[in-house]
Amino acid sequence: MVLRQLMRALGAGTKDVRNLTREEAFRAFTAILAGGESDILIGTFLISMRWKGVTVEELMGFAQAARSQARIPCQGMSGLVALCPQHDGHDRYPPLDVCAGLIASAAGARVLIVSDRCVPPRRGLTAASVLEAIGLSMTWDPGEAEDWVSKEQFAAVSISGMLPPLIALRRMRGDVTIRTPLSTVEKLLAPNSAAVLMGAQGGPVLGTAVEVVQDLQHPRGIVVQGLDGGVIPSVRRRTRGIEVADGHLVPVTVEPDDFGLGDDEEPELPLFGPPEEGYGAADNPHLVKACGDITMAVLGGADGPARRASLLGAALILKASGRCLTLAEGVDAAASALDSGAAGAMIPRLQGLLH
């Protein structure tokens, strides 16, 4: 058993604990995806890695193992930005990555959202929830996602469709109840030729994640600590991030008041009471509908926190793509695409691909 051997290598106590090499991490994640390890052993291994703290080398090994088995669309496609939010979603804020992605696509970027639906432990609202509510769809077929991006510059693809072994880990993730390194690894399943915009939780994971993006040799990338650890910045306070540009790591600060997009409130979801045990926000049809309503209101021209947050998110996408050199330029381009109706016009065109 590979994981049992590597658990011994990690050490039995705080004094003799050590990090895995990249090769060991590659072997470990390959074994997890192969399906021969028990849920208990996988959960114990991932919790041990979280307790120890995951290194860049370990994340590189995990990511390379996952990428070696995944069907990743849009390889080599120019001008592409892969949006990599957290896959267990939101339960307090609407997932505005779809709205921001549609705006950025209307402004000229190619956007691929890598997401999923009802992922434990949170089972929160994701891009899949929003697309369902506005008459669109996330695809489980990587080939179809590539076709959609080629034709209309936008698609959302299920990570489970890209890497089916992840489905078998859902029950274990729900039982563990906390985020493990798996939550970071799945955000790293993006075309290596694409720029990336990735969300990160608070704390030191920001620096670790951006170093992995750099080592995976993405041409450009931005990692931000957005709302709920997602890719959408706050409109109430400063959002921290780090950009990979020309091989260098550069701090990024999103200060909403600098662009006239500050607000006293975040774009929060309505309250419908606590979810039943084993369920989450994405299982609540009222919340799914609310996400769709918020998105359509923004695309229809409504002002408010959701519009402002979406414009900041779109500006980050445009900056990551290289189409805009500064966030200010990205905000202007995003506002033009939204106010002209070009972003809203993306929806009927994308609906045409489904029929």
Residues 177 and 210 in one domain: yes
CA distance 87 to 324: 27
Find the mean pLDDT for residues 67-79: 96
Note the pLDDT of residue 11. 64
Pairing of strands 239-245, 220-224: antiparallel
Residues 62 and 84 in one domain: no
Residues 51 and 186 in one domain: no
300 contacts 103 by C-beta, under 8 angstroms: no
Residues 275 and 195 in one domain: yes
Extended strands (E) in 19-92:
80-84
Note the pLDDT of residue 203. 84
- pLDDT, tens only, 202-229: 888 899 999 999 999 999 999 999 999 9
What does the longest C-alpha to C-alpha distance in the chain come to? 61
- pLDDT, tens only, 113-158: 999 998 988 899 999 999 999 999 999 999 999 999 999 999 999 9
Look at 35-44, 101-110, 292-301, 335-344 and tell me which has the smallest mean pLDDT.
35-44
- pLDDT, tens only, 24-35: 999 999 999 999
Note the pLDDT of residue 234. 98
Q: How confident is the model at residue 1 (pLDDT cuts 50, 70, 90)?
A: low
Full-model pTM: 0.95
Q: How many domains does the chain have?
A: 2
Query: Edge to edge, what strands does the sheet with 80-84 contain?
Result: 154-158, 110-115, 80-84, 195-199, 220-224, 239-245, 248-254
CA distance 66 to 100: 27
**DSSP type of residue 13:** S
Residues 186 and 237 in one domain: yes
- Given a cut of 70, whether residue 42 has pLDDT beyond it is yes
- Given a cut of 80, whether residue 276 has pLDDT beyond it is no
Note the pLDDT of residue 7. 81
- Given a cut of 60, whether residue 12 has pLDDT beyond it is no
Expressed as residue numbers, the domain containing 8 is 2-69
Note the pLDDT of residue 14. 57
Residues 149 and 62 in one domain: no
